[in-house]
Amino acid sequence: MKSEKLLFAMKGIDDDIISKTYKYSTKRKIVSFRKNFLVAACICLIIIGTGVLGYNQGLFNTLSPNKNQNGVQSQITLDLTNSFSLKVYAAENKEIPLEAGKEIPISIGNIGNCWGFSEGGGEYDENGEVIYYHFDLPKMDCEGNNIKDISFSINKSQLQVTNYIVDSDGKPVDGTCDSNDTYTFSYDEFKNNYINISVIGYIPKNDTAMNAIFTPETIDEYLNQVKNILEGIIITCQVTYNDGSTDSINIIMDAAYMTYDELKNNFGIEWSINPEDKLRSEGTVEVFYKVKE
């Protein structure tokens, strides 16, 4: 059997990679998100609050602190006013300017963030009539006052949520994975679990789409296909406060071509360049999301 020979040939994989693969653990990653909270680079997409903003002193240098009427910076107090802030974690040790509406590349952050396409077939599409797409959202965290629960919903495509229960060391011990239009998490659940949210969906499989995605002649052809898929997708994050009132933000997605230098200098993303990929010799298409203003 030919594939059997290929399976045996996997013994050719370097010893270093075999050893490191076995030792790899998400524990390190999760700990860095949870425990190194104050030093981990992160991005505050937006702060919404009907009252006093939930200002985290010193957490984000680029955030404008609240000021009172005399222009004096306010200090953290026991603020009982409803508020929430949604933060998006970037790569560790990489701080990115934080402003509402700032475009955030999807590939930053943990090793699990990625996006891509696959032909139908197998478990998900027996007839192979579609092309699936998948976009991981970077790790998010929510902070605020009086928050009862947090929900995410999407107007098209679907959300896939993997909800890992982690132990005290941050190691996943159990988890669920489900696809739906809306998900609601209790505040504690969202804070304590390791939650991965992705946008998934599919488009009809035809020659145009197949060529544009898998064998594009130009990078623009690929870019336009990705942009078409993302167009109109709105992810709404809504918090419900203990008093029943709500706040929300909308996140939209888009794609752009960037050079590898731009990705590295602006976002700290170091791309693995395939020398044989002539279309992507100097740059590549990256997916971004931003707060809808």
Partner 1 sequence: MKDEEIIELYFKRNERAIEETDIKYGNYCETIAGNILWNNQDIEECLDDTYMKMWNRIPPTRPRILRAFIGKIVREIALNMYKASKTSKRGGGVVSQLLDELEECLPDNTTVEHVILENELAEIIRDFVRELNERDAYIFTSRYFYAQDISDIAIKFGMTKHNVTVILSRLRKKLQLRLAKEGYLAS
Residues of the shown chain interacting with partner 1 in the complex, contacts defined by CB under 8 A = 1-22, 24-26, 29-30, 110-112, 114, 116-119, 122-124, 132, 134, 136, 160, 162, 164, 172, 175, 177, 179, 194, 196, 198, 200, 214, 272, 274
Q: Which residues pair with 286 in a beta bridge?
A: 256
Q: Which C-beta is closer to partner 1: that of 136 or that of 143?
A: 136
Give the shortest CB-128-to-partner 1 separation in angstroms.
Answer: 12
Q: Which C-beta is closer to partner 1: that of 2 or that of 77?
A: 2
Q: Which C-beta is closer to partner 1: that of 64 or that of 281?
A: 281
| Lookup result for tokens 């590349």 | 105
Dist CA 107 CA 90 (whole Å) = 9
Q: Which C-beta is closer to partner 1: that of 14 or that of 243?
A: 14
207: Cα separation from own chain's centroid: 30
Give the shortest CB-5-to-partner 1 separation in angstroms.
Answer: 6
Give the shortest CB-181-to-partner 1 separation in angstroms.
Answer: 16
Dist CA 185 CA 239 (whole Å) = 10
Q: Which C-beta is closer to partner 1: that of 49 or that of 283?
A: 283
CB 58 within 8 A of CB 96: no
CB 100 within 8 A of CB 82: no
Dist CA 172 CA 194 (whole Å) = 8
Give the shortest CB-164-to-partner 1 separation in angstroms.
Answer: 7
Q: Which C-beta is closer to partner 1: that of 8 or that of 38?
A: 8
Six-digit token pair at 279? Answer: 């279309």
Give the shortest CB-208-to-partner 1 separation in angstroms.
Answer: 19
Q: Which C-beta is closer to partner 1: that of 19 or that of 182?
A: 19
Give the shortest CB-9-to-partner 1 separation in angstroms.
Answer: 4
Six-digit token pair at 33? Answer: 């998100």
Give the shortest CB-239-to-partner 1 separation in angstroms.
Answer: 24
Closest CA to 29 of 184, 231, 171: 171
First-to-last C-alpha distance (Å) of the chain:
57
Q: Taking the alpha carbons of 45, 245, 198, 212 in that order, is the dihedral positive or negative?
A: negative
Residue 163 vs residues 67, 100, 249, 256, 257: alpha-carbon distances, Å? 38, 27, 22, 30, 32
